[in-house]
Amino acid sequence: MIKMKNFVFETKQMRIECPKCKKTYIRVIPEYDDAVYSMCPHCTNIVALPNKVNDAMESFSPDVYLSKDCKPIKKSDRATEVENVSELIRQMAIKGSQQDEMINAVKYSMVCIDSDKSVNGAYIDVKKAYDDLHISQLFKKYAVRTRSLMRS
Ligand SMILES: [Zn+2]
C-alpha cells in the first residue's frame, strides 16, 4: 500500500523478467494501474508490463460473431452504438471497473466497430455479442445516462 498525502492506493507486486538482460526484478504498481511500462534496473531497458486487458484483446477477433442468421446493422445504428460503448468504457475507466468487465466492454466495442463487415453473406451479430458479453449489466452499472441500442 502506498500512502501519498490524501491518497491511499492498493498495490500489487509484479515479478518481471527483462527480455533484454534476462534478469528479474520486482515492481510494485498500484492496483488500478493498467498498461504501464517499467525500466529494468539492471540494464535500463524499457519493458512493457503484462496486461490482462491487452492480452485478451490481442487474441480476440470480432469475426467469431459472424453469422448468417442475422441482418446487417444500419450504418447510423453502428455509429450510435460505437459512441454508446465508447461512453460506457469512459465511465468504466473513471469509476474503476474490474479488468474482466473492461475486457468484455472492449471486446464489444471491437464488435461494434467491425459490424459493417460481411463475409459470404454472414454479418456480425452485434446483439449476440451484447448478450454473451453481459453488456446490459455494464451499462446499468457504469453508464448512468448512456444506453445501448441493443437493450431489449
Ligand atoms: Zn534488463
pTM higher than 0.75, yes or no?
no
Contacts of 54 (CB under 8 A, 6+ apart): 35
Q: Are residues 121 and 135 in the same domain?
A: yes
Q: Are residues 67 and 136 in the same domain?
A: yes
Helix (H) / strand (E) element for 124: namely strand 122-124
Show the domain range for 22.
Answer: 2-50
Q: How many domains does the chain have?
A: 2
Asked if 101 and 78 sit in the same domain, the reply is: yes
Ligand 1: distance of its center to the CA of 31 in Å? Answer: 24
Name which of 150, 74, 45, 49 is nearest 108 in CA terms: 150
CA distance 28 to 33: 10
Read off the pLDDT of each residue in 33-53 and give the average, rounded to a whole number.
Answer: 76
Contact 47, 38 (CB under 8 A): yes
State the chain's maximal CA–CA distance in angstroms: 59
Q: How remote is the CA of residue 49 from the centroid of ligand 1, in Å?
A: 13
Instruction: Record the cell numbers describing residue 149, joined without a space.
Output: 441500442
Q: DSSP secondary-structure letter at 73? A: P
User: What residues flank ion ligand 1 with Cβ within 5 A?
Assistant: 18, 20-21, 40, 42-43, 45
> From the CA of 17, how far away is ligand 1's center (Å)?
8
Which pLDDT score is estimated for 79? 95
Question: Are residue 66 and residue 85 in the same domain, yes or no?
Answer: yes
Flag whether pLDDT at 136 surpasses 70: yes
Rounded distance from Cα 130 to ligand 1 centre (Å)? 42
73 and 30, same structural domain? no
Confidence of residue 2 (pLDDT cuts 50, 70, 90): very low
Secondary structure element (H or E) that encloses residue 135, with its range: helix 135-142
Same domain, 35 and 74: no
Domain annotation covers residue 6: yes
- DSSP-derived letter for residue 62 is G
Mean local confidence (pLDDT), 29-57? 74
